[in-house]
Chain A
Amino acid sequence: MSYLAIAMDIGTSGIRAQAVNLTGQEIISTVITARHPLPGANVIDHLHFALEIGVSAAHDILLQSINLMIDRLGIESTDVCRLAVCGNPIQLSLFQGIEIRDLAFAGKRKQQSLAIEVPKREALITHANMIQGLNLPDLCEVIIPPAVEHEIGADALAMIIQSNMQDTAETALITDYGTNAEMALIHQGRIYSGSTAAGPALEGQQISSGMLATPGAIVDLVSEPPYHRLMVLNDDMQIVKGALVDITKGDIIDASSEYQAIGLTGTGTIATIFQAIVAGLIKKPHIMTHDHQLNLGEEIRFTEKDFIEAGKAIGSVRSGHITLCHEAGISASEITTVYMSGASGTYMDALKAQKLGMFPAHVKKVYQIGNTSLAMARDLLFAPDKLEEMNRLAKHLKQYHCMFATSPIFKKVFMLELSFWTEGMPLTLYQRFLRKYGLPELDQDFSQPEIIHTVEQDINDMGKQGLITLTDIGQKLVTQMQGCVACHTCVNECPETALHISFNQGLAYMNLDQSLCDGVACRRCERVCQDQVFHFNQFFKGHE
């Protein structure tokens, strides 16, 4: 009798899966990937890939990785009776293998001109044999939660439900500090949601020395005057002490550390900016060191360009908050409780985030909750009727969801944020503009909130078999480009070193690690080919 189940969070930066024993109600093992298998650096790239190469090609690649993960969970897949997934609408649609063009083209005109039939994306319980290529027993249940709008879906619902914010009568704000910062404000029983393309800086991407929250990532910077201590994630994803550095020069003052730092995550970025501001090293948008960057030792740096990326991300989150408050007819000072979710939410130092304006200044409580998507998927395994709750919530959100891209308030405030972070506009002027726009001023009276960590790490319980991180989930694709003379220009040009050339019987074969590849938006390889014989789409011809 099958008694095993799998919960899966299909995120933009990677997939997280857990095997669960339904009868014993315990977690057995956890597998996470270091990156997403699809070529591309963000969810739009994935979408773009699907558009260009085909939904079925994208679906196949995704499922290949999912199957590999199921295999590595160390369980008998024949004993799996249920799979619950969670993620944003794009990832879930790719998983299902359904229409995604409406997600790519937010504008209604384009949707109409393409005569796209927009799928309902409601909650669904189906079977594994309905998901093409899924390596689970045919009749294994597959639970897919609903979406809300194209830009906000099951992961946002998960965030709201898992936080239990609806149980409170207080005015509360929840944010998933990621690439598509989803957020929701609850006030007098109504939930106002929104999602802003904050940019990947908050997840450590598009930052020079950026990386995702995986072992070796700097997640915090603590001051040990006059220097700073790096706080790094170890192999078990716990925060341990790294080296002591002089951020003005990058000198390592004390190299004895519990784990070697490799790069900077989004939360590390926040900490670095905070510490630099405190040390008087930032005159927005300039970094006032000899080399105009902050150096965290061992070639890990934070440049002025990085600062601007991060500033735009922080600015868009705050713009979203201000917009939601406006929608609810309140001022930010009325918010008493704040929830921070997602990896960024878990590892971020809440007080530093507060000072940078990532949530309102005057809150009483801050809850740092872990990965809610995975937790939601797990809940669905044990209680599939929770889908009803998700459906109800989705309906509610549809009513009050605010589309930031078209909101005049959001645009106005974001313009102020852009100016604040990238031009160095002073706060006083920012406040003046807010007044001019009829919005409440930014509260600068910082409280000392109570900080509650509901989990110790992003994924709290790894199960008795522990955690496996798959760094190599990318399929290696090989093709022979006619006319290729192996000049290696494409190999050298690739910003992710995803290409290499191999030889067989005197012919040059092009090899692509698709999980490293930046996808169809990049295509540098194709453009620099001296003889124009490189055709990117050819790698994926097998999937047509």
Chain B
Amino acid sequence: MKLIDSMAYSSSEEMMFGFAKYPVTTRSGLVIGGGAVIPEVVTHPRPGKEHDLKTLARELERANTDAMQRCVSIGHPSIVIENEHVFQMTNNPEWGAEISAQSAHKISDFKQKYGLNAAYRSTIADIRKPDMINLRDSERTEKVLESFKNCAKTADILSIESLGGKEVFDYSIIRNDITGLLFSQAVLGGRDMQWLWPQIVEIANENGCVPGGDTDCAQANTAMFMAGGFDAKDIPHTLAALSRAIGASRTLVAYECGALGPGKDCAYENPIIKAIAGIPISTEGKSSACAHSDLCGNVIAAVCDLWSNEAVQYQNMFGGSSAAVFTEILGYDTAAMNSSIMLGFEKQYQACLVNSDRYRDPQAFILCPDNAWAIGKAITDNADSLYARGRAAAIKCGELILADPELRLTTIEKKSLLAYMAEMETLPEDEDNFIDFCLNKYRKVKGFNPAAYGL
């Protein structure tokens, strides 16, 4: 498979929220990345509601309806609604299909009744647990593909959070092992996506549905969560930053296979992806605090096209249901961003978003548009192999961090980063040699089955 070797944007100066080089139009008529930021609301059923289809469908119907109704109340012109499949929705492909159909139907109701512009993203659950089954050949794999086929009929956008490489990643992150990260994210994750995504794209195209994108949530976000805040002392933030950069080399594969965007919200590496591929992206930050904490709450909006809340459990708050409440929050966030575009202040607004977090943490630093672009460039300049570009991304990321004295690091963070850089220097140049080395080093990691990656 040919890896991308050129940048969609010639500099980060060209990158702005609301605008993508290659906007996407959904079958429901919503244009994403075409000049405005649109909120993406993600609702989640309460525990216990998944035990049968009827209950689950009713729960999500209520949540998604609440979201759309709030748009109408407040005056938000457009919205993307996403449901990430709970296990049962993918494991019983007819469930996911039913809910997708129901949601698409609701969207068209609201369109007719109020003129609300909406689209539905169905994110299939990757139930192929690497440590349980062969990723490429199992009943679960079949179910995943069947779910795609079903949901493609009615959803506007298809996505997945693929798990390839997770078993080796989990083993490596806790051992502070950068080599393991490169292997699990860039190589294994990338290879699994190279196998999976062409099939998704084909299914989407056959059904007039948009193949959206993927995310390195299973790996880079795990690193981010484990790194925690300033008061946590477990995983260095610099390692999480490197993991993020490597993650970009993995997530990019979807687009090389024909995915069109919008990229998945939890892919914090999306700014890097957008710089390379020009596709519209969904991001999440301060308004996804309901789901998790991060250190780049504002900067991550700098080049977004969809602005998401990641996931909120459907429950009551003083201001209404959580679905409605977060729709309102995201809607106002995007209204402000779109106002800045209208008034011609978008550059300044973007600068404010970036300034808020640029020096807050290395993870935020590397996602600033200029640094994200630089990492993207390193990826496209090293398109020889998945490994080569993953490594190049990590090295570039480290160099950027070390080069700016205004980005302060604690002694431990700096020491750790230097150690990772030094270790990466010693790794083989050639992907085949690297893979051989890793196949030996990680051969006994539980659940790691090289055949599942075609190795």
Task: List B residues 212-237 near A (Cβ within 8 Å).
Answer: 226, 234
From A111-119, A206-214, A246-254, A527-535, the one touching the partner chain is: A246-254
Contact with B along A204-242 (1 / 0, CB 8 A): 000000000000000000000111000000000000000
Interchain CB contact under 8 A, A253 and B446: yes
Is the Cβ of A226 less than 8 Å from the Cβ of B444?
A: yes
A-B CB pair tally, cutoff 8 Å: 20
Interface size class of B (residues with CB under 8 A): 10 to 19
Q: A238-282: which have CB < 8 Å to B? A: 246, 248-249, 251, 253, 279-280
Chain B residues with CB under 8 A of A253: 444, 446
- CB of B171 within 8 Å of the partner chain: yes
Q: Interface residue count for A (Cβ, 8 Å)?
A: 13
Check B51 for interface membership: any CB of A closer than 8 A: no
CA distance A253 to B226 in the complex (A): 24
Please determine whether B444 and A225 come into contact, CB atoms closer than 8 angstroms: yes
> How many angstroms between the C-alpha atoms of A253 and B234 in the bound complex?
25
Contact A251 B446 (CB under 8 A): yes
Q: Which of B170, B171, B226, B446 has the most CB of A within 10 A?
A: B446
Residues from chain A with a CB closer than 8 A to the CB of B175 are 279-280
Asked if B174 and A227 sit within 8 Å, CB to CB, the answer is no
Closest to B235 in A: A288
SS of B interface (majority):
loop
- CB nearest to A280 among chain B residues: B175
CB distance from B447 to the nearest CB of A (A): 9
Interface: A109 (CB within 8 A): no
The dominant DSSP class at the A interface is loop
Looking at the complex, which one of B176, B226, B234, B445 makes contact with A226 (CB distance below 8 Å)?
A: B445
Flag whether A290 is at the interface (Cβ < 8 A): yes
**Which residues of A in the span 260-311 have a Cβ within 8 Å of any Cβ on B?**
279-280, 288-290
In the complex, the answer to whether A288 meets B234 with C-beta atoms within 8 Å is yes
The docked-state distance in angstroms from the alpha carbon of A226 to that of B446 is: 10
A288 to B175, alpha carbons, bound, how many Å? 9
Tell me the nearest residue of chain B to A227, going by C-beta. Answer: B444
Cβ B174 vs Cβ A288 within 8 A: yes
Complex: how many Å from CA A226 to CA B440? 12
Q: Are B444 and A290 in contact (CB under 8 A)?
A: no
Q: In the complex, A248 Cα to B170 Cα: how many Å?
A: 10
Given A251-B446, A253-B446, A288-B234: A226 touches B174 (CB 8 Å cut-off): no
Closest CB of chain A to B155's CB: distance in Å? 34
In the complex, which residues of chain B have a beta carbon less than 8 angstroms from the beta carbon of A288? 174, 234
Complex Cα distance A289/B445, Å?
17
C-alpha gap A248/B175 in the complex (Å): 10
Interface string of B12-34 (1 = CB under 8 A from A): 00000000000000000000000
Partner of B171, one of A225, A226, A280: A226
Which chain B positions have C-beta within 8 A of A280?
Answer: 175-176
B231 CB to nearest A CB, Å: 14
Contact between A290 and B446, CB atoms less than 8 A apart: no
For residue A245, which residue of chain B has the nearest CB?
B446
Extra contacts besides A226-B444, A227-B446, A289-B174 (7): CB < 8 Å: A226-B171, A251-B446, A253-B444, A280-B175, A280-B176, A288-B234, A290-B226
Top 6 A-B pairs, shortest CB-CB distance? A253-B446, A251-B446, A226-B444, A248-B174, A246-B446, A288-B234
Identify 8 residue pairs between A and B in the complex whose beta-carbon atoms are under 8 Å apart, listed by A's number.
A225-B444, A226-B444, A226-B445, A227-B446, A248-B174, A249-B170, A251-B446, A253-B444
